Each structure stands twice: as C-alpha cells, then as structure tokens.
Structure 1
Amino acid sequence: MKHQSETLLTTEWLTFSTKIQSFIKRLGIEQHVFECDHVALRANSTAKADEYRNFFEERGTVISENIINGRPILIIELDEPLSLGGMIIPCVELPYPSQKRYPQEGWEHIEIVIPSNAAECEHFTADVVDIIPNLKNTLKLTDSTNSDIKIKLSSPRGTHERLANPTIALKQKDVCIKLHPHSIKDIIDSELE
C-alpha cells in the first residue's frame, strides 16, 4: 500500500518548489549561491505530525529532537536529499503542532544560510543587506501595510543550543523563506559542546 504522504515528494513538492523559486526570483536572490540547509513541514495535529515522522524516518535519520518554544521539533537528515532548482536540501524540519493552526498542512518554508557572526536580528539584517543588496528595498517594503510580503524577525533557540541563530522570515501567501547565519547541523553540533 502506498503511503498517504507519498504525494509530499511528488505533486506537493513540485507545487511548493515552483512557488518558492518564483519567490526567490521576486526577492532578487536567485543569482546568489547559498546553502539551503533544510525545508519545513507544518502539521495541525499530533496524528499528522506522527504520520510525517513515520514517513520521513523511512527515508532518513532523526538527527535532532529538541523542545523549542514548548514543542518538539525534529530534524531528519534524508538518505536522498531533495532538490529545489540548483539547491540540494539535506534535511527536513518537522515541528509538532502548537496552539497555532496553519491554513494548510505540508511544505511551508525553506531555510537558507547567509554566513554571519551576528548574534542578534538587527545585526544579522544589516549583514544580509550587505551580502544581498537587492533585499534592502524588500525589507523596507515590508514595513508598509500595502506589501504582500510579510517579515518576521526571531531568535528561536533550543534548550541546549549554544550558537545564536537569528532569523529573518520573508513570507508571501503560503510560502516562506527564512534566512539565518548558521546551518541546522552547526546548531545541532553546538548542543553537544
């Protein structure tokens, strides 16, 4: 019997990839070469999160299971990385549900590493604009209520993480691109120090 989540890697991945690549182009960052260290799923129920977990555990290994903002978040390193345009994505992030309900379950965002030593969102934003000048206008536009791109700055941190990883989330409709200075594997390694 074919797993119900099988469409995640076929139809749903193709649709999500197309939207993300269009958003990358709109942001003007397609000409830069960055590491896309992971892609995230969203689930509105523990049962759906468990279904996703079982599906991806058959295709990879859980390399981290941490409590962040009061809920478990798994990082699964895939046996066969996903491909998005020219990027190879080695890991899937699977957060278990919180109180927030998502309009749709499935693929939600990618995370791109923009190398920086910044420990705070303000400094990281300045570094990002220096590295990707095209984002300067976009980041200014998001201050406007007229923009369809929403921005959120955050500093999520796991219980044992020692490496600050400020994040800029750029969201358009049902897709999101998050930028952060350190890869998920570096963050996981920092837990072991």
Structure 2
Amino acid sequence: MTYQELINSWPVFSQRIQAFTQELGLDKLTLECDHSALRVNTNASADQLRQDFANVGTIISDNMINGRPILIIELNTPLLMGTNTIECVELPYPGEKAYPKEGWEHIELVLDCGANNCDMLTQSLLEQAPQLAPVLAGQTDIKVKLSSPQGDKERLLNPTIAFKKDGLCVKVHSHGIKAVIASEAE
C-alpha cells in the first residue's frame, strides 16, 4: 500500500462511506468527521506511510493503544468527503490480525454529548437517531461493536460505537481526536 494508492482510492472509499452513513441515517445529524483511518498489514508499509504522510502533514500523536503504535497525522490539506473536510488520518501499525484488504477502513464521527461510557453514548445517539435502535439491537446485517479504547497517556474517556458492513466501518465517539490528544498533555 503506497501513499499514492491511498490518494487514488479516496474518491471511491469516500462515496462508499457516505452511502453507508446515509443508510445509517447519520448524515442527517450534525456530526463532525474528525478523522479517517487506515489498515496496513506490515510494519514496513506503516513505516513508509509514516514517511509519506510526514511530507503532507504533521504527526500530532504517536501513542501506544492496545499494545501497538497508532499515529494521528494532521494533514496540511484536508481530505474532502462530500461537503466535509477531514483534517486528520489515523495510521495504526499492524496488530495481531491481518486485514483482508489494506487501505482506507473507517471514518470517525463526533457526537458531542460528553458521554464517558458506551451506555451513555448509545443513549445519546438513540435520542438523536432513533432509527438505529434495530441496528444497535443486532436485528440487521450491520455489525455493531462497543468499545472504550484508551491510549497510555489519555485522560479523556472516549467510548466508541462502530458500525460495520461490507468492509466499511463508521465509528461514533463522544470526543474529537484533537481533544483526546490534548488530554494526553494534562
């Protein structure tokens, strides 16, 4: 996976992820898309992408999360997804499992509700998007995963709801990535 391949594949990924966001009904909410994330299967690919992204942005976080390095790169020129701009890219180094496909994997949306656990986040999301009740109850073909990943230095709890279907993932969390990074310095 090269940087140029990522850039070339962004329009198709962006269209597919927007369609999935519409299917979920999240496009009707005023959610900020604070970053998009990649998946790579080798340290060599991650190292090369780290160098490539350093030429088009600034690494604003290099943190250990769940035992592996995860970088957040603030881009000099944001990615465009419809009318939204995405300022940051998450580059996780590979973990134990290999991904069937390297490249763009998910976007993360911020539901600014102050939730500090998955139950609170779920309740806040359902208040704004009641159509998601059957999805969250496991009654559709969309997979749902609730988690509370935390970096070694993070002080801000940031629960996450991940919606997965057809190799795509949309995550909703309660705090933006820059707020989470800022909490590391506190």
Give the TM-score of the pair, scaled to structure 1. Answer: 0.93
Q: Which of these residues, 147, 157, 163, is aligned with residue 156 of structure 2?
A: 163
Establish whether residue 46 from structure 1 lines up as the match of residue 39 from structure 2. no
In structure 2, the partner of 1:187 is 180
Query: For the residues of structure 2 that align with 1:54 and 1:131, how far apart are their CA atoms?
Result: 40
Cα offset, 1:60, TM superposition: 0.0
Structure 2: where are the runs of 5+ without partners?
none
Establish whether residue 175 from structure 1 lines up as the match of residue 173 from structure 2. no
Q: Aligned with 1:7: secondary structure?
A: helix
Structure 1: where are the runs of 5+ without partners?
none
CA RMSD of aligned residues (A): 1.3
Q: Which of these residues, 100, 105, 121, is aligned with residue 102 of structure 2?
A: 105
Within 5 Å, which residues of 2 pair with 1:45-84? 45-84=42-81
Query: For the residues of structure 2 that align with 1:45 and 1:121, how far apart are their CA atoms?
Result: 31
CA contact (8 A) 2:2 2:49 kept: no
In structure 2, the partner of 1:148 is 141
Q: How many residues align?
A: 186
CA deviations on 1:59-112 (whole Å, 9 max, x unpaired) are: 100000000000000000000000111211000000000101101000000000
Query: For the residues of structure 2 that align with 1:120 and 1:32, how far apart are their CA atoms?
Result: 21
CA contact (8 A) 1:125 1:168 kept: yes
Letter of the 2:44 partner, please give it: A
Letter of the 1:164 partner, please give it: L
Query: For the residues of structure 1 that align with 2:105 and 2:92, how far apart are their CA atoms?
Result: 11
Query: For the residues of structure 2 that align with 1:99 and 1:53, how far apart are their CA atoms?
Result: 20
106-115 or 130-139: which moved more? Answer: 130-139
In structure 1, the partner of 2:7 is 9
Establish whether residue 119 from structure 1 lines up as the match of residue 119 from structure 2. no
Cα offset, 1:137, TM superposition: 2.8
CA deviations on 1:33-62 (whole Å, 9 max, x unpaired) are: 211000000000001111211111111000
Letter of the 1:75 partner, please give it: I
CA deviations on 1:157-178 (whole Å, 9 max, x unpaired) are: 0111110000000001111000
Query: For the residues of structure 2 that align with 1:63 and 1:95, how far apart are their CA atoms?
Result: 14
